[in-house]
């Protein structure tokens, strides 16, 4: 990051206004308030986020004060920022231990995209790349270094890092150090030495793992002293959970896909065979999907994964092999075509949806034979304790599938927490997609008496068939077409009947016994038959479950959103990074909602910090302006109301109230009005030429000025125009290079803005 590309920030502290250097503090010298302000200011300046998420502020303070810590937040909770913001707010180099190269690369790309100097060292790099990183470390240019744990046994690396001014160590996916976790990695055991390698340097672990045992183990293995443990809520309020009994899997999946046209999602299956079959079936029906499982070659797997990340294909059908190392933030749905093996797995796999905090849907399709499949897969397990744990886990998720209570509540309770609200507003029950059966007692009695009449020797599928009045050979042979309950519920579908049997089982009125899972009536069931207890029976209501989803689209022009998505895809290709690193979906929605056309307004948009304002501002504004004009849609909607809370969120810092930005701009605008040159304005206000050019840009946009003779000499204007003719106006850097570095960025920017304004007038 070079200082010469300083940017215009408006609602910042005076020191920030002309510098894109982070606000650094020496923690011991300044008080907690100042530290908190610096953190907030950097969050806003670099990431363009208005405020902290739960526990982020607290966990950052621990890093700032060198207190060892372990932070437990669910996937998507924002763990990375907990160490990234402190890393740029402290002096020195933060060391981040991360298990996978793909994860490291993604994080480094995303840090660089917001203008932070970060790098990784891994085995895929050339010696030259490694030397370059080492040079940057020597020159103290780097703020974050990502490395794999196995590097910490290499004496040379260790010695080098010992002299590199390491500020603190962050350990991503810290549960990998624990044998009790679901993803133990032996190489993480090297991390025990951290405390002796870097004496006095604080160590901070981050994980989404929920169990106490793993947490305690992480602390012990790392040798953390007096560590503070922060545990966030495991609830993911933006995820909508639904469960359906599987009857016609492909049809059910299709109905879900119809709610998510053009959006990214993952469909999980248990077996490789099913992955292939499901992917092919969906493709035949006109969906574009790719498979992913461990039976494929490494090459085709990574090809498919990349196509998903780059949004060439929206849907991946996969086994659980898929997911770790995928940071894609805008996964809008996760479907389990079959039941996962535990609630822990479900939490983790479904948790890959909606990391960006926007709504996302998680649907689990289950059928009784999923349990058999898992049982079969566990049959070789020798350790009885492990086998028991596996069976218990299966029971817990089966219970989740058939229960009749709020899904969010059930999930957090499983992880030992509770929710305040009974109604989450984001699951099939709370959204009233399941309605109570009007005569649950009679319905229950019909089913149970059928079980009794069959002699309690048959399973759920058979019972449902008898109730529906099937003449299947086996039923006739057993004489069950003659019993009084035969055909008693012929108007109900088989999946519905089986679902009620599940519900009655989960409520303890029936139980499955023996090798063939024969249904038996329990003592409670006898009470039900006598009419002494009434069950709760629910029926899925055929509903278009889009209800709560609409809110987060409020005011968003979906066509413009799609247009911006196209723009994001093109930028991603140019920059060789995944689209979500350019802009998250939340940012595109905010843009398509407020449709800003002025550079200065962009900082009010969620997820646009100084770097992205500068780098992508012109192309974003151009796209929006052109589209709004072509479609006769109003631009600059409610921009004053989105003036971000940013720093002014806290009442104590009035000097940073958002009006600063307007008064700052008018100071510049007055001088432009008077016809001063850019250099004079820079001199008069003691600002860099670059900063002045950004204010001038927004002045031109405000007044739709295309005549720039006052600021740019005609010969320079001609040269830049010619370059734009060759290379387009999307990025300044190629123009700067094309002009052999002879024309300042500030001047190029002005000609580009005038050019864009002329284009938008012509079109």
Choice from 8, 44, 52, 270 touching ligand ADP (CB under 6 A)? 52
Closer CB to ligand ADP, residue 49 or residue 462? 49
Residue 329 interacts, among Zn ion, ligand ADP, none and using kind-specific CB cut-offs from 5 to 8 Å, with ligand ADP
Closer CB to ligand ADP, residue 357 or residue 444? 357
Choice from 46, 49, 711, 736 touching ligand ADP (CB under 6 A)? 49
* Nearest Cα residue to 710 out of 692, 722, 725: 692
C-alpha to C-alpha distance for 375 and 615, rounded to whole angstroms? 54
3-class DSSP state of 169: strand
Residue 303 interacts, among ligand ADP, Zn ion, none and using kind-specific CB cut-offs from 5 to 8 Å, with none
Closer CB to ligand ADP, residue 84 or residue 289? 84
289-292/315-318 β-pairing: parallel
Closer CB to Zn ion, residue 245 or residue 408? 408
Contacts of 601 (CB under 8 A, 6+ apart): 594, 636, 639
Q: Is-contact 75 348, C-beta < 8 A?
A: yes
Residue 355 interacts, among ligand ADP, Zn ion, none and using kind-specific CB cut-offs from 5 to 8 Å, with ligand ADP
Residue 622 interacts, among ligand ADP, Zn ion, none and using kind-specific CB cut-offs from 5 to 8 Å, with none
Other beta carbons within 10 Å of 497: 24
Q: Please name every residue paired with 97 in a beta bridge, in sequence order, or none if there are none.
A: 147, 171
Residue 688 interacts, among ligand ADP, Zn ion, none and using kind-specific CB cut-offs from 5 to 8 Å, with none
Q: How far is the CB of 429 from Zn ion (least distance, A)?
A: 5
Residue 406 interacts, among ligand ADP, Zn ion, none and using kind-specific CB cut-offs from 5 to 8 Å, with Zn ion
Q: Is-contact 70 229, C-beta < 8 A?
A: yes
Q: How far is the CB of 206 from ligand ADP (least distance, A)?
A: 7
Give the residue closest to ligand ADP by C-beta: 78
Q: Looking at 69-77, 318-326, 627-635, 657-665, which segment touches ligand ADP (CB under 6 A)?
A: 69-77
Closer CB to ligand ADP, residue 411 or residue 689? 411
Closer CB to ligand ADP, residue 525 or residue 584? 584
Closer CB to Zn ion, residue 363 or residue 720? 363
Residue 83 interacts, among Zn ion, ligand ADP, none and using kind-specific CB cut-offs from 5 to 8 Å, with none
Q: How far is the CB of 84 from ligand ADP (least distance, A)?
A: 8
- Which residue is associated with the tokens 């850019």? 678
Buried b (16+ CB within 10 A) or exposed e, 714-729: eebbebbeebbeeeeb
- Which residue is associated with the tokens 């962009």? 602
Q: How far is the CB of 236 from Zn ion (least distance, A)?
A: 12
DSSP state of 23: -
- Site residues for ligand ADP, 279-338, by CB under 6 A, read 327, 329
The alpha helices in 69-211, defined as continuous H runs, are 79-89, 101-113, 127-138, 155-162, 194-197
Closer CB to Zn ion, residue 282 or residue 430? 430
Closer CB to Zn ion, residue 241 or residue 583? 241
Residues that bind Zn ion (CB under 5 A): 406, 408, 424, 427, 430
Q: How far is the CB of 100 from ligand ADP (least distance, A)?
A: 13
Q: How far is the CB of 580 from ligand ADP (least distance, A)?
A: 7
Q: How far is the CB of 47 from ligand ADP (least distance, A)?
A: 6
Q: Is-contact 390 341, C-beta < 8 A?
A: yes
Q: Which helix (H) or strand (E) holds 631?
A: helix 610-631
Q: Is 584 in the site for ligand ADP (CB under 6 A)?
A: yes
DSSP string, 313-351: SSEEEE-TTS-TT---TTEEEEEESS--S-HHHHHHHHT
Q: Is-contact 589 562, C-beta < 8 A?
A: no
Per-residue x/- track, 71-90, ligand ADP (CB under 6 A): --x-xxxxxxx---------
DSSP state of 550: G
C-alpha to C-alpha distance for 296 and 266, rounded to whole angstroms? 17
Structure tokens at 512: 């499955």
Q: Is-contact 168 90, C-beta < 8 A?
A: yes
C-alpha to C-alpha distance for 137 and 149, rounded to whole angstroms? 19
Q: Is 558 exposed, middle or buried (0-12, 13-18, 19+ CB in 10 A)?
A: exposed
Contacts of 10 (CB under 8 A, 6+ apart): 17, 600, 603, 660, 661, 664, 665
Q: Is-contact 736 745, C-beta < 8 A?
A: yes
- Which residue is associated with the tokens 């432009």? 672
Q: How far is the CB of 410 from ligand ADP (least distance, A)?
A: 22
Q: What angle do CA 133, 139, 145 make, to 5 degrees?
A: 40
Q: Is-contact 420 367, C-beta < 8 A?
A: no
Per-residue x/- track, 342-371, ligand ADP (CB under 6 A): -------------xxx--------------
Q: How many residues belong to the site for ligand ADP (CB under 6 A)? A: 18
Structure tokens at 94: 């933060």
Q: Is 583 in the site for ligand ADP (CB under 6 A)?
A: no
Q: Is 235 in the site for ligand ADP (CB under 6 A)?
A: no
Q: How far is the CB of 357 from Zn ion (least distance, A)?
A: 18
Residue 578 interacts, among ligand ADP, Zn ion, none and using kind-specific CB cut-offs from 5 to 8 Å, with none
Q: How far is the CB of 9 from ligand ADP (least distance, A)?
A: 18
Contacts of 638 (CB under 8 A, 6+ apart): 555, 594
Closer CB to ligand ADP, residue 52 or residue 711? 52
CA–CA distance from 339 to each of 381, 498, 499, 661 (Å)?
20, 16, 15, 53
Q: Looking at 50-58, 271-279, 338-346, 536-544, which segment touches ligand ADP (CB under 6 A)?
A: 50-58
Residue 354 interacts, among Zn ion, ligand ADP, none and using kind-specific CB cut-offs from 5 to 8 Å, with none
Residue 80 interacts, among ligand ADP, Zn ion, none and using kind-specific CB cut-offs from 5 to 8 Å, with ligand ADP
Q: Looking at 49-57, 255-263, 527-535, 658-666, which segment touches ligand ADP (CB under 6 A)?
A: 49-57
CA-only gyration radius of the chain, Å: 30
C-alpha to C-alpha distance for 503 and 533, rounded to whole angstroms? 15
Closer CB to ligand ADP, residue 77 or residue 86? 77
Closer CB to ligand ADP, residue 57 or residue 189? 57
Q: Looking at 51-59, 313-321, 618-626, 754-762, which segment touches ligand ADP (CB under 6 A)?
A: 51-59
Q: Is 57 in the site for ligand ADP (CB under 6 A)?
A: no
Choice from 13, 17, 19, 53 touching ligand ADP (CB under 6 A)? 53
Contacting positions for ligand ADP (CB under 6 A): 49, 52-53, 56, 73, 75-81, 327, 329, 355-357, 584
């Amino acid at each position: 990051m070079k200082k010469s590309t300083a940017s215009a920030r408006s609602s910042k502290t005076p020191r920030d206004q002309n510098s894109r250097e982070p606000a650094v503090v020496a923690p011991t010298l300044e008080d907690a308030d100042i530290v908190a302000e610096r953190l907030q200011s950097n969050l806003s300046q670099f990431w363009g986020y208005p405020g902290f998420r739960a526990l982020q502020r607290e966990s950052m303070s621990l890093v700032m004060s060198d207190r060892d810590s372990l932070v437990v937040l669910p996937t998507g909770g924002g763990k990375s920022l907990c160490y990234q913001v402190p890393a740029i707010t402290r002096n020195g180099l933060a060391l981040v231990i991360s298990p996978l190269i793909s994860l490291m690369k993604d994080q480094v790309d995303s840090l660089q995209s917001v203008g932070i100097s970060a790098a990784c060292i891994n085995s895929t790099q050339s010696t030259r790349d490694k030397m370059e990183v080492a040079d940057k470390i020597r020159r103290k240019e780097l703020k974050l270094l990502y490395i794999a744990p196995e590097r910490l046994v290499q004496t040379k690396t260790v010695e080098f890092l010992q002299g590199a001014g390491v500020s603190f160590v962050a350990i991503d996916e810290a549960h990998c150090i624990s044998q009790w976790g679901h993803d133990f990695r032996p190489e993480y055991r090297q991390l025990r030495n951290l405390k002796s390698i870097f004496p006095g340097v604080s160590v901070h672990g981050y994980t989404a793992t929920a169990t106490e045992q793993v947490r305690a183990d992480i602390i012990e293995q790392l040798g953390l002293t007096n560590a503070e443990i922060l545990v966030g809520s495991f609830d993911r309020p933006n995820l909508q959970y639904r469960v359906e009994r599987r009857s016609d899997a492909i049809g059910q999946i299709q109905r879900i896909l119809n709610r998510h046209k053009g959006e990214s999602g993952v469909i999980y299956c248990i077996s490789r065979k099913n992955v292939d079959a499901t992917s092919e079936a969906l493709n035949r029906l006109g969906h574009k999907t790719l498979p992913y499982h461990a039976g494929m070659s490494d090459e085709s797997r990574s090809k498919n994964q990349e196509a998903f990340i780059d949004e060439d294909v929206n849907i991946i059908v996969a086994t659980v092999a898929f997911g770790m190392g995928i940071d894609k933030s805008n996964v809008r749905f996760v479907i389990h075509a079959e039941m996962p093996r535990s609630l822990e797995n479900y939490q983790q796999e479904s948790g890959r949806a909606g990391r960006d905090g926007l709504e996302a849907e998680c649907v689990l399709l289950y059928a009784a034979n999923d349990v058999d499949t898992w049982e079969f897969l566990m049959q070789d397990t020798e350790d009885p304790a492990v086998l028991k744990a596996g069976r218990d886990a299966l029971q817990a998720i089966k219970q989740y599938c058939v229960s009749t209570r709020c899904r969010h509540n059930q999930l957090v309770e499983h992880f030992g927490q509770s929710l305040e609200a009974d109604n989450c507003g984001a699951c099939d029950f709370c959204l009233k997609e399941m309605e109570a059966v009007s005569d649950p007692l009679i319905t229950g009695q019909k089913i149970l008496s059928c079980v009794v009449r069959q002699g309690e020797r048959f399973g759920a599928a058979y019972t449902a068939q008898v109730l529906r009045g099937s003449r299947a050979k086996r039923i006739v042979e057993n004489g069950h077409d003659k019993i009084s309950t035969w055909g008693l519920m012929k108007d109900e579908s088989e999946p519905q009947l089986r679902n009620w049997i599940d519900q009655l089982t989960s409520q303890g009125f029936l139980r499955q016994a023996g090798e063939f899972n024969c249904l038996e009536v329990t003592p409670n069931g006898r009470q039900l038959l006598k009419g002494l207890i009434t069950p709760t029976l629910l029926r899925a209501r055929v509903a278009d479950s889009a209800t709560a989803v609409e809110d987060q689209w409020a005011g968003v022009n979906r066509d413009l959103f799609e247009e911006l998505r196209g723009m994001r895809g093109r930028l991603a290709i140019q920059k060789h990074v995944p689209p979500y690193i350019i802009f998250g979906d939340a940012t595109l929605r905010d843009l398509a909602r407020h449709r800003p056309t002025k550079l200065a307004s962009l900082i009010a948009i969620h997820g646009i910090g100084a770097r992205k304002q500068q780098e992508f501002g012109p192309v974003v504004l151009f796209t929006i302006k052109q589209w709004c004009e072509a479609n006769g849609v109003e631009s600059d909607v409610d921009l004053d109301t989105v003036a971000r809370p940013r720093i002014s969120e806290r009442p104590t810092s009035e000097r940073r109230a958002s009006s600063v930005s307007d008064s700052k701009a008018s100071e510049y605008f007055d001088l432009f009005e008077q016809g001063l040159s850019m250099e004079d304005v820079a001199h008069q206000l003691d600002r860099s030429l670059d900063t002045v050019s950004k204010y001038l840009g927004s002045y031109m946009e405000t007044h739709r000025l295309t005549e720039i003779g006052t600021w740019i000499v005609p010969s320079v204007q001609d040269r830049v125009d010619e370059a734009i003719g060759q290379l387009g106006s999307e990025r300044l850097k190629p123009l700067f290079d094309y002009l052999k570095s002879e024309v300042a960025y500030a001047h190029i920017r002005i000609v580009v803005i005038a050019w864009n304004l002329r284009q938008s007038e012509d079109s």
